[in-house]
Structure 1
């Protein structure tokens, strides 16, 4: 066996088929497991320094189990490899990722799937509300401060930096008194599953943090560039076709912050050259035509 340390994990003897999965978070390894009785699971392995983070993920899945969400069932959690790593065993959600199917769908079908994903997100958020004595404006100003500090440290200024910074400075009032939830943190098409029953499943809960629910939508930009109908459907589905007036100003705010964050994140990830990273960040701010519009033009 290529992974002899797997025998340290309880239930090891039940697994007749073990397949390592590629893609996703570089900080962990994932395996699809099939037991003798046909049950499928996913095993996630990471270093013990991420124990607190992964324990939070496991606890969030436990918290959400009583509700009618199609999410992995938390099965086991513990240490392995002589205590240097930790493991998390979850049930497997059968199906294909939304991201792998969108290109095969008509624009109407893309919209419909997006609508369904938006409804699912709204349900998730409704079950994840938190009460905080710290106003969201104060909490997010610290998040934004760190993002901008990391951006400046990269020494890769974007051409539309000032117009983006001016927009943030002039629109902080939208952040006051916002509701706060535990957001999924990575809610995009590749973390959403279309099941054989045509339901939407949600995977990869490892980035859950307290947030304004609208901030969850900033990541939609990546799917929207190729599949704008899906993005429009997700927004419509989330709000049941009644988008409130404060949504697009806040979406513009969060995407602008996301543009600055992209510089430091992408440089650290190391996949693309700096010029490509810079142009991508500029493109995010350009979605708003110098903020003459707050509803983004996806294309």
Structure 2
């Protein structure tokens, strides 16, 4: 599933809840005990079977995910990451339990359920001060997420970044995908990739955008969607900002940047890397979308051209919308 599809999906753990699931009632999951209410969550693109569940004697809801054994190792890593996020006071689902389900070859992951609606749907109609506030809160959360260092012995971020980006550029060339925005992004990558040489590697959420941010009562309630996590430069999390989030709310985007930097405008080093990673995000989007329907590829190219225009063909590292407070 490519990121363009993800950006167009309703958040998978917050919407699409429908009628009861009788076969789950009475099932026991330690340490919470017996399930007394269970509703399937049909929205989203994950292969997991997802349910909003309630347990006897406990207030609040929980998210139950059932998945195949082939995903077990990755889910264990995600479960551990959520524990680390809790220790860093990141507002996200609290990991409760993980183990083998009653059906052979099936496993479960149980986390707390975050009430609210995803920011992708709520921000466009929210008051402007709220859009900025949610963005700043998102930036603060992102700064805490990046405090989780990568495992020792991991290959350098620069090597991984350059190899992956070259592979994506090769895809674009082989498919003949081009536009003014594509050419500008490619040139930016070629001229600035050396900036990654000394950059650190930390935990990356992997899809930090409004669709994975839950808003409740006009404030950011939590971050979801950790299933696509990775390791790399913490500023690489901003690669999607000018593509996906920008189309939802430029005030949110401005707020995220300011919130990440403690309310202050960032320095020139940030902007240089921001522009590089924005160009990289554009190339990634097009490479991922290259096998999709023509309409999706057309939309992706339009997003990339808009991104390049925001940066005046990447002659400016700071996007034009940032000053629009």
* Superposed pair shares fold, TM > 0.5: yes
Between 53-62 and 77-86, report the one with greater CA deviation: 77-86
Matched, 1:208 2:229: yes
Corresponding residue of 2:51: 31
Corresponding residue of 2:306: 283
Matched, 1:169 2:211: no
2 CA distance for matches of 1:81 and 1:148?
45
2 CA distance for matches of 1:273 and 1:296?
24
The match for 1:245 among 268, 272, 278 is 268
2 CA distance for matches of 1:190 and 1:104?
15
1 CA distance for matches of 2:217 and 2:296?
39
- The 1:157–1:121 alpha-carbon spacing in structure 2 relative to 1, beyond 3 Å, is same
Q: For residue 188 of structure 1, report the CA deviation from its aligned partner.
A: 1.4
Corresponding residue of 1:256: 279
Matched, 1:226 2:226: no
The match for 1:10 among 23, 29, 33 is 29
Between 187-196 and 210-219, report the one with greater CA deviation: 187-196
- The 1:187–1:276 alpha-carbon spacing in structure 2 relative to 1, beyond 3 Å, is closer
Q: Secondary structure at the match of 1:225?
A: helix
2 CA distance for matches of 1:68 and 1:13?
27
The alignment's C-alpha RMSD in Å is 2.9
- The 1:7–1:220 alpha-carbon spacing in structure 2 relative to 1, beyond 3 Å, is farther
Matched, 1:85 2:106: yes
TM (norm. structure 1) is: 0.87
1 CA distance for matches of 2:155 and 2:120?
36
Alignment gaps of 5+ in structure 1: none
2 CA distance for matches of 1:128 and 1:276?
35
1:266–1:272: 8 Å Cα contact kept in structure 2? no
Q: For residue 125 of structure 1, report the CA deviation from its aligned partner.
A: 1.5
2 CA distance for matches of 1:274 and 1:141?
24
Q: Secondary structure at the match of 1:108?
A: helix
Q: Secondary structure at the match of 2:320?
A: coil
1:8–1:80: 8 Å Cα contact kept in structure 2? no
1:5–1:80: 8 Å Cα contact kept in structure 2? no
Corresponding residue of 1:120: 141
Corresponding residue of 1:235: 257
Corresponding residue of 2:200: 179
1:48–1:83: 8 Å Cα contact kept in structure 2? no
- The 1:133–1:202 alpha-carbon spacing in structure 2 relative to 1, beyond 3 Å, is closer
1:130–1:182: 8 Å Cα contact kept in structure 2? no
Between 192-201 and 112-121, report the one with greater CA deviation: 192-201
TM (norm. structure 2) is: 0.80
1 CA distance for matches of 2:52 and 2:86?
21
Corresponding residue of 1:69: 90
The match for 1:158 among 156, 159, 178 is 178
2 CA distance for matches of 1:205 and 1:111?
23
Corresponding residue of 2:320: 297
Corresponding residue of 2:17: none
